[in-house]
Structure 1
Amino acid sequence: MSIDSGHGSGREPRITLTHNEDGTWTARDLEVEVSAQGKTRDEALENLDAVVDAIENDGGHEPTEEELRELGIDPDENTPGRGELPDVLK
């Protein structure tokens, strides 16, 4: 299924919609290669638009130390390669 979701990037989006077994919907942008879910088709598409907008505009940047602290994360205590991976990531 191809839907014009209005990303506004000048490209023609190619989007698939899947109705999942649990009743939710998954929208996938085949060009950007990202997915989003929602309780309805419209919600899935709106969530996908938000993800694509973040990627194409200001999303995807490494957080600053200030942004991490605002989220309650101490950058000095959370650096790559420190300690062992949690079991879920092994």
Structure 2
Amino acid sequence: MSDKTSEEEIPTVESPHTVWKEEELWVAKDSQTEVASQGRTRQEALENLDEAVALYKGEIGEPIDSREKERRLLEELGIDPEEVKKAREEKRELPEFMQPDLENRN
């Protein structure tokens, strides 16, 4: 066993974000908004999270007012739209990471 620990082997926590590795992807979640995103690297996950939070807060981008716009955005963020569709069908609602947090929304 090596004394060295690679970045991929340990979950990291940085306020106000939580970052961890799942299989081959890094996941980053914003603690305040509960918005999450992912990427092939830790840095990519954090960059995607920054964009996702800005979109959530309405700071950038156009409103997502159609399923097609939602599909394109999910694909850009590296999220499989079919998984979201399946989750909606199973739970009849958005997956937890896509739920709006109305308490913290400005």
TM-score, length of structure 2 as denominator length: 0.46
Q: Quote the residue 1:75 is aligned against.
A: none
Query: Which stretches in structure 1 are left out of the alignment for 5+ residues?
Result: 4-13, 72-87
Q: Quote the residue 1:7 is aligned against.
A: none
Partner SS, residue 14 of structure 2: coil
Query: Which stretches in structure 2 are left out of the alignment for 5+ residues?
Result: 1-12, 73-85, 91-106
Cα distance in structure 2, aligned partners of 1:46 and 1:58: 14
Percent of aligned pairs with the same amino acid:
34
Superposition RMSD in Å:
2.9
Q: What is the total number of aligned residue pairs between the two structures?
A: 60
Which structure has more helix as a fraction of its residues? 2
**Higher relative contact order structure (alpha carbons within 8 Å, sequence separation ≥ 6):** 2
The amino acid of 1:28's aligned partner reads: K
Structure with larger Rg: 1
Q: 1:19 aligns with which of 13, 18, 21?
A: 21
How many angstroms does 1:53 deviate by? 0.9
The amino acid of 1:42's aligned partner reads: Q
Cα distance in structure 1, aligned partners of 2:30 and 2:62: 16
How many angstroms does 1:61 deviate by? 3.3
Residues 48 and 62 of structure 1: CA distance in aligned 2, closer, same or farther (over 3 Å) = closer
